[in-house]
Amino acid sequence: MGQCYGKTIPSVIDDNGHDRPTTAVGDRPPPTPSRTPANNGTAVKSTPARSSATSPWPSPYPHGGASPLPGGVSPSPGRSTPGRKFFKRPFPPPSPAKHIKASLVRRFGKAKPPMEGPIPEDGSTMEESEDQSLDKNFGYNKNFGAKYDLGKEVGRGHFGHTCQAKGRKGELRDLPLAVKIISKAKMTTAISIEDVRREVKILKALSGHKHLVRFYDACEDTNNVYIVMELCEGGELLDRILSRGGRYTEEDAKVIVLQILSVVAFCHLQGVVHRDLKPENFLFTTRNEDADMKLIDFGLSDFIRPEERLNDIVGSAYYVAPEVLHRSYSLEADIWSIGVITYILLCGSRPFWARTESGIFRAVLRADPNFDDLPWPSVSPEAKDFVKRLLNKDYRKRMTAAQALTHPWLRNENHPVPLDILIYKLVKSYLHASPFKRAALKALSKALTEDELGYLRAQFTLLEPNKDGRVSLDNFKMALVRNGTDAMTESRVPDILNTMTPLSYRKMDFEEFCAAAISTYQLEALEGWEQIASTAFEYFEQEGNRVISLEELARELNVGPTAHTILRDWIRSSDGKLSLLGYTKFLHGVTLRSANTRHLRVKEEKFFECMNVNSHGCSTCCVSRTSEKDAGDDVVAFSDKTANEVKTGIDYAHMPSKNNIRILEVEHALVAEDCRRTNRLFAISGCRFL
């Protein structure tokens, strides 16, 4: 596991394959070159920018090639820090990953060596001759020189640089500012131009949060785009971590995490996903120890509708969520990144580490964070539970930012709990559920722990119930209005109210609100889930359980008759009612879906041997039996061409979704837990496609 040792020069691979500064405000130029004698035993706090041309060490790059880093930057800080005290390993040298190279070739026509910075998203290649036809007129003010005086440069990347500045007139006169200067010459694709437009649009639309960098103005001239923001002079969070020897105490870490969660919860409610949360993108306003932090750099951010899922791969390797690599993600990807940051704050090392980018991605997809090595035995159980619930590989089981603020590790009456957009999504689903499903959820709500009820009380209070203690559609609508910004309108968050129309002619009390606003998947992530489910089933037996036929249960779950073989195990033969197993499975649905389902979600439970798959030229293959999980697990699929020939413990040949699935033929049964996504299929380690 890699340690937070030295600080690399922050960079982002932009849409032109160039580095751009990841610190939009308060960037600094590379530190002055310095060397530490090998025998003085003094650890270097950060990686100096120095040439490695005369290094006696062999090149770490293939065939002895040159480092892909810019001139003057060492490939690894480990060679200049022989006396390091706090860390086991230095930052690894960047290693070009083949799939990243391929993306760059497709997008830019030639490969650029990938850096340790964020992962470039895929796109179509554009010819250099098309650059002249690109519209680089952004419509911003063109009088930058008349309004601002530029000062010294504080940060630089290939895409642009950041300078201090002062306003010359108006409200900004003599106010210290930071100006991010982006060169138009570097904007060689329509995608890169759109990225700049979107960054400015998001900064303009988001406003009003104390931990969000303040945007003042956007200007342009023939050569550059200028983004004017507040100046943060306190340095990056990563610098503070390093200055403390690599880790924070729990109490100090809480202060940092509270600020991160607060601003991310605000962004998510507005329908903005940041997609590049990391210590380098949080700046302190001053050098004081108790200075506030500001979230910066929205260059990779995007607007996202409540039910939308994104598919472009962006972010920084060490902080990227598994579902981002799977090309299907939403706001939960930011929560994963916060989990990585919290893990680093508490122990000083990364939860997922490897020497190459592809190795990092493999670790993110497969490995579990280590909570056994020092200092984790001395960390409180609440802190460990907090990190584990953020770093859950199933995105549905992660807490939201608002929920995390009510976790026992952070519970504090002094900080407010923001409105959570997840409440709207869950209530919408509840309103469209059948009476039988609502009864099951009401029973579950009666078994909730006090920790879960505290979050629900806070959300119910934010809806400002009427005098009778109930809420209607108007309460949900006004709650969004009170918390809305232009970003919320741009991301069309209020559109979710159109799907909640049943509340326009009825009201919901707190008890029903609890049933409507709970997530079965999140409860499953709790250590006490089995006890919660058992208690809930007792309530369900008393108030909601009834005789139900296979056909009716299949209709409840929107599956066809071929699912009866699985559903039969959910119903007690003695009285025809749901069993405890059937109740817990019914709460979050069945894996088998209707005919328009794209993928079959499966979990590694039991393997069956399938025989005589002749159309693909193999005699045997192994497949994993489906679990009843609804979504989010690894995908194993079968082709409609060969499904009729597959003989397993489950009748895949007559599944409703057989027209949408393909065959994966494998050499042995390393299927569900040992795979990574390639396009819309999973390339399985130890397996092969025939």
Cite the active site residues. 276
Is residue 656 within 8 A of residue 560, CB to CB? The reply is yes
H/E stretch holding 148 reads strand 148-156
Provide the H-helix boundaries in 484-528: 486-490, 510-516, 520-524
Distances (CA, A) of 576 to 83, 435, 438, 443: 71, 18, 19, 19
Counted residue by residue, the chain has a size of 690
Provide the H-helix boundaries in 290-331: 322-325
Q: Helix (H, G, I), strand (E, B), or coil: what is residue 317?
A: helix
Name 143's Cβ contacts closer than 8 Å, sequence gap at least 6: 219
Cis peptide before 176 (omega within 30 of 0): no
End-to-end Cα separation, the chain, in angstroms: 35
Tokens 């393997």 belong to which residue? 607
- 3-class DSSP string for 633-658: CCECCCECCCHHHCCCCCCHHHCCCH
Task: For residue 681, report the phi and psi dihedrals to the nearest 5 degrees.
Answer: -120, 170
Is residue 300 within 8 A of residue 118, CB to CB? The reply is yes
Is residue 317 within 8 A of residue 360, CB to CB? The reply is yes
Q: Give the C-alpha separation, 350 to 88, whole Å.
A: 11
Q: Give the C-alpha separation, 139 to 638, whole Å.
A: 51
Q: Give the C-alpha separation, 671 to 293, whole Å.
A: 43
Amino acid found at 658: K
